[in-house]
Amino acid sequence: MSQHDPDHPDHPEHQDAPDGTQRPVDPVAADDPDAAAREQASVPQQPVDDWTQVTRPQPVVPPQAPGPWGYPAPGQPPAAHRHAAPSARVAGWVWPVVAMLALVVGVVGGVVGAAGFRLVDEAGGERQGIVRDGLFGVDTATGAPLAPEDGTIANVAAELLPSTVQIIAAYGGDDRGATGSGFVLDRQGHVVTNNHVVAEAAQDDGRIQVVDQEGNRYDASVVGRSAVYDLAVLVAEEMAGEFEPTALGASSRLRVGETVVAIGSPLGLSSTVTAGIVSALQRPVTTGDPDSDTSYINAVQTDAAINPGNSGGPLVNLLGEVVGVNSAIATTGGGFGAEAGNIGVGFAIPVEQVRITADQILRTGEAQYPIIGAEVRTGNAQGDGAEIQKVNPGSAAEEGGLEEGDVITAVDGERVTDGIALIVSIRTHQPGETVEFTVRRGGEERQVSVELRGQVG
């Protein structure tokens, strides 16, 4: 599958080359500068920017009930509803024939200025984050803004547009930059967007600006970002107390076929609203250039129109709750550097991953993801599991009893079809959790429990 990321996101993940050769995933050496990229036989966890190009489809893992990273709300529909729409698994080899994925990042020119980046300390100098049952240190919205009977696209737009922003990130001099979208997280001036929207600016010490619905611009700095989950948290101090936070919902409560709304600044057209349906849930996809860094997410798929510039913007349900962060789209042609456009296949990072990653960033300035310390083959045309190519000495995988040649067919009872599906499944958990792998070894099936370790990224 071809992949393209004009914003050059710095995701520490690797996947098989087009010829099927193995690329390391989940390294172990803690003092190795490249450990983050290798210590991830780790399986993806959850979790857009101006559209330049993004890549992310692969075999699909069936929807799972809110669990490791779900935040179920009162009145959650029964499990039958949450699992009602089975995802059609697609072998990895099919995607290169059908489409390529592209990050939805836009490109801008002109002088935006220069600004530094820093971590933001909350009250008392101690960074605070979002906790499961509410806010801790930041003032976020609680409860859906709209009642079910008021759930129209027009009402959703009226509620969310004032809290959705455009992101302009300058880097590499006066005439280079990326544009994307974002949304207000709290009343302290924090904004959520995609890492790939601001990655180049952050690395180049460029200037980042947040533009509201009225066209007002606010200087922003990076609080923290995760290349692995393609998420970033910004802070614009002048925005503190001026904007109503968006309400965070739960993608785990979505049902295939229900209406969702995408809001952002596609092609530089700020405050744009498009609508569609949930096309699939728990879709394991990858983003990034296969020759550099790659991110793996268990995405929400939608046919709502998403184009370059939508990256980082909210995907919203009809209660006005954010259920995902728009991040990538599938395209039917072109190569790296080619323009991407909407064809009705877009992908959003589930809001549950946003909660976890934003919380970690607000507390510590950085995010963590789970790893097992093994290398897996990500290409598998048969779709019958993820084969372990190497188990790193002293790793969680070795301690748990995984061996080279093992084929993992399920994680906590949920089927995995190949290495990408495995990585995504692992990343729906947190470091310190114990997961159970169903393993095929020597023609026999067995259960292996592994306690996940953490890696910054």
pLDDT tens digits, 380-393: 667 889 999 999 99
Residue 295's pLDDT is what? 78
User: Residue 175 in contact with residue 109, Cβ under 8 Å?
Assistant: yes
Residue 97 has pLDDT above 90, yes or no: no
Neighbour count for residue 121 (Cβ, 10 Å): 11
Residues 196-251 have pLDDT tens digits of: 999 999 998 999 999 999 999 999 999 999 999 999 999 999 999 999 999 999 99
Residue 357's pLDDT is what? 93
102 against 456, higher pLDDT: 456
Taking all residues of the chain, what is their mean pLDDT, rounded to a whole number? 75
**CA gap 47, 45 in Å, rounded:** 6
| CA 411, chain centre distance (Å) | 20
User: Residue 221 in contact with residue 116, Cβ under 8 Å?
Assistant: yes
Residue 353 has pLDDT above 60, yes or no: yes
**CA gap 151, 130 in Å, rounded:** 27
Distances (CA, A) of 204 to 50, 85, 104, 224: 18, 44, 21, 15
User: Residue 285 in contact with residue 167, Cβ under 8 Å?
Assistant: no
What is the widest separation between alpha-carbon atoms in the chain? 64
| CA 293, chain centre distance (Å) | 14
User: Residue 344 in contact with residue 54, Cβ under 8 Å?
Assistant: no
Task: Map the chain to HEC letters.
Answer: CCEECCCCCCCCCCCCCCCCCCCCCECCCCCCCCHHHHCCCCCCECCCECCCCCCCCCCCCCCCCCCCCCCCCCCCCCHHHHCCCCCCCCCCCHHHHHCEEEECCEECCCCCCECCCCCCCCHHHCCCCEECCEECCCCCCCCCCCCHHHCCHHHHHHHHHHHEEEEEEECCCCCCEEEEEEEECCCCCEEEECHHHHHHHHHHCECEEEECCCCCEEEEEEEEEECCCCEEEEECHHHCCCCCCCEECCHHHCCCCCEEEEEECHHHCCCEEEEEEEEEEEEEEEECCCCCCCEEEEEEEECCCCCCCCECCEEECCCCEEEEEEEEEEECCCCCCCCCCCCCCEEEEEHHHHHHHHHHHHHHCCCEEEECCEEECCCCCCCCCEEEEEECCCCHHHHHCCCCCCEEEEECCEECCCHHHHHHHHECCCCCCEEEEEEEECCEEEEEEEECEEEEC
Residue 434's pLDDT is what? 96
**CA gap 51, 62 in Å, rounded:** 28
Residue 305's pLDDT is what? 96
Alpha carbons within 13 angstroms on the beta-carbon side of residue 105 total 33
Residue 104's pLDDT is what? 65
Residue 294's pLDDT is what? 66
Average pLDDT of the segment spanning 339-354: 89
User: Residue 194 in contact with residue 325, Cβ under 8 Å?
Assistant: yes
Residue 287's pLDDT is what? 67
Most confident of 23-32, 46-55, 132-141, 301-310: 301-310
Residue 339's pLDDT is what? 53
Residue 137's pLDDT is what? 59
Contacts of 74 (CB under 8 A, 6+ apart): none
Residue 341's pLDDT is what? 81
Residue 288 has pLDDT above 60, yes or no: no
Average pLDDT of the segment spanning 8-29: 38
Average pLDDT of the segment spanning 399-411: 95
**CA gap 315, 327 in Å, rounded:** 10
Residue 130 has pLDDT above 80, yes or no: no
Q: What would the two tokens of residue 412 be?
A: 């906590």
**CA gap 123, 129 in Å, rounded:** 11
The proportion of the chain whose per-residue pLDDT surpasses 70, expressed as a percent, equals 65
pTM: 0.72
Residue 425 has pLDDT above 50, yes or no: yes
User: Residue 6 in contact with residue 337, Cβ under 8 Å?
Assistant: yes
Average pLDDT of the segment spanning 304-315: 96
The proportion of the chain whose per-residue pLDDT surpasses 90, expressed as a percent, equals 53
| CA 103, chain centre distance (Å) | 11
Residue in the structure block whose two tokens are 């997280």: 185
Average pLDDT of the segment spanning 122-149: 61
Most confident of 66-70, 101-105, 166-170, 202-206: 166-170
Residue 142's pLDDT is what? 76
Residues 150-165 have pLDDT tens digits of: 999 999 999 999 999 9
Which residues form the catalytic set?
Answer: 196, 230, 311
Most confident of 79-88, 135-144, 185-194, 285-294: 185-194
Average pLDDT of the segment spanning 395-423: 93
Architecture of domain 42-365: Beta Barrel (2.40)
Residue 43 has pLDDT above 50, yes or no: no
**CA gap 160, 380 in Å, rounded:** 41
Residue 273 has pLDDT above 80, yes or no: yes
299 against 27, higher pLDDT: 299
Residue 147's pLDDT is what? 95
User: Residue 207 in contact with residue 113, Cβ under 8 Å?
Assistant: yes
Residue 177's pLDDT is what? 86
**CA gap 154, 318 in Å, rounded:** 10
**CA gap 435, 428 in Å, rounded:** 11
Residue 34 has pLDDT above 80, yes or no: no
174 against 409, higher pLDDT: 409
**Of the ranges 265-279, 292-306, 328-342, which one carries the lowest mean pLDDT score?**
328-342
**Of the ranges 33-47, 252-266, 314-328, 338-352, which one carries the lowest mean pLDDT score?**
33-47
